[in-house]
Copies of this chain bind each other. A is one copy, B any other.
């Protein structure tokens, strides 16, 4: 693994970590009402483009971190519908 990949993985790790508290907060409080459905969907679409881009230029850090971000935001999307129906 070369120097660039290490930097990319560190970047991905940090930005991915910064998403988790929001997800934990939504799950703990069982409340996602303050989230914008449109923004989560737009973000997931953008992140899918990043994953596709990562495959095109064969860069693992881009694929892994944006793939993880798709996972986190898809879970947020699920929580949005799950907790909305319970109200």
| Chain A residues within CB distance 8 Å of chain B | 3-4, 7-8, 10-18, 21-22, 34, 36, 39, 42-43, 45-47, 49-50, 52-53, 56-57, 59, 61-62
Contact = CB atoms under 8 A, between A and B. Distances in A.
A54 to B, nearest CB: 9
Contacts of A50: 8, 11-12, 15
Given A3-B56, A12-B50, A14-B42, 20 more contacts: A4-B53, A4-B56, A4-B57, A7-B52, A8-B50, A8-B53, A11-B46, A11-B52, A13-B46, A14-B45, A15-B43, A15-B46, A16-B46, A18-B42, A18-B46, A34-B34, A53-B61, A57-B57, A59-B59, A62-B62
